[in-house]
A and B are shown apart, each in its own frame.
Chain A
Amino acid sequence: DQQVKQNSPSLSVQEGRISILNCDYTNSMFDYFLWYKKYPAEGPTFLISISSIKDKNEDGRFTVFLNKSAKHLSLHIVPSQPGDSAVYFCAASADYGQNFVFGPGTRLSVLP
């Protein structure tokens, strides 16, 4: 039973355009969410977080939106750059940072 789902295994976007990565969760107790990107042969790199008391958080080109009623969050990357090509994971925690449940990831390809 997957508690965190990323239903798009892959996504291709043109350089300069917006990339939107989606994540759905089933556990209403989740209160803290993270996004990571991962390059081959490296560990996941933290991008941005959001707590359940907010519905939006921005950091540079990255914005995360949280819709608690729909149990859905999304990561927007604007503008997309070729260096953003990686696998993106969303992760959720029900206790503000103990056990994180990760989604299966979405592979983003940004085409020049």
Chain B
Amino acid sequence: ETGVTQSPTHLIKTRGQQVTLRCSSQSGHNTVSWYQQALGQGPQFIFQYYREEENGRGNFPPRFSGLQFPNYSSELNVNALELDDSALYLCASSRTGTRGSPLHFGNGTRLTVT
């Protein structure tokens, strides 16, 4: 069983730039969620994708956007980067349609905005 993989592992960007983070789901999973984890805090829900459409969104501005592909992989795009966007970005996959399917996380992408 292949787990959730994320790329890249680390990234340094300058304020105002744009970034794309990538995620491959665990095999058998059809739903992808993205979370932001700031230092010393718990992960915070950004959005979820199911059947290639956004299926729920947390309190994040529109410059955070995403995609899900037919193979259930996903991208997180952040435009106009701000210093506060520096965080660990976690992708998680799960199986919608199975009541109570837990999230399975990748190891994350550490984004630093300077």
Residues on A lying within 8 angstroms of B by beta carbon are 4, 32, 34, 36, 41-46, 49, 51, 89, 91, 96-105
Contacts and interface: CB of A to CB of B under 8 A. Distances in A.
8 contacts: A43-B90, A43-B92, A43-B108, A44-B105, A46-B102, A96-B100, A100-B33, A100-B103
Interface in B64-113: 90, 92, 94, 96, 99-108
Nearest to B97: A97
A43 B35 CA distance: 11
Given A51-B100, A97-B100, A98-B56, A45 B43 contact: no
Contact of B42 (A46, A49, A89, A99): A89
Contact of B43 (A32, A89, A98): A89
Nearest to A34: B102
Given A43-B90, A49-B100, A89-B43, 8 more contacts: A43-B6, A43-B106, A44-B105, A45-B105, A51-B100, A91-B42, A97-B100, A104-B41
Among all A-B residue pairs, the 10 with the closest Cβ atoms: A102-B42, A43-B105, A43-B107, A46-B102, A102-B43, A44-B105, A99-B45, A98-B56, A104-B42, A43-B106
Given A44-B90, A104-B42, A98 B101 contact: no
Given A42-B107, A89-B43, A98 B55 contact: yes
A4 B107 contact: no
